[in-house]
Amino acid sequence: METLFSRTLENGRDGFTALLDAIEGFLAEQFVPDKIAQRVMISCDEVISNILNHTHIGELPDISVRVAVTSENIAVEITDNGPAFDPLSVPAPDTSLPLEERKVGGLGIYLVRELMDDVRYFHKNDENHLQFNKIVPLL
């Protein structure tokens, strides 16, 4: 059986922490294992932060988060009405370089790709959709 969570970010940056807290509470209510919940939370934090930080100042987009939990999978879709942008088109950072030689930024979507089992992007009806899934291993 699938259990759903759906929420829209209200108050721009001011509502960011409350949204993350609500997602975390939902995952706990669904008894998602801590290690998996932590990976989902890091991914949600990174994606929403990127949307807020890379949208033009004064033009904060509407951001909606949908989380579906089953006994086998956690599926997240984050939607925003900001300018079209495919974060998956950004090249992966060169993690072989020493820290002092790396460009600042660029690790957020890299982390999401590393933490999740599947990450997809599409643009439809003037909205960006980023979907990611984490398989829940059978106990």
The domain that holds 20 is classified in CATH as: 3.30.565.10
- What pLDDT score does 57 carry? 61
CA 68 to chain CA centroid, nearest Å: 13
Each residue's pLDDT, cut to its tens digit, for the chain (139 residues) gives 789 999 998 667 788 999 999 999 999 999 999 999 999 999 999 999 999 888 766 677 889 999 999 999 999 999 999 889 999 998 877 777 777 777 776 788 989 999 999 999 999 999 999 999 999 986 5
Q: Print the domain residue range for 28.
A: 3-135
Q: How far apart are CA 129 and CA 78, in angstroms?
A: 6
pLDDT at residue 61 in the model: 80
Predicted confidence at residue 11, as pLDDT, reads: 64
Q: Which amino acid is at 9?
A: L
Domain count, the chain: 1
> pTM score > 0.85 for this model?
yes
On whether the CB atoms of residues 76 and 67 are closer than 8 A, the answer is yes
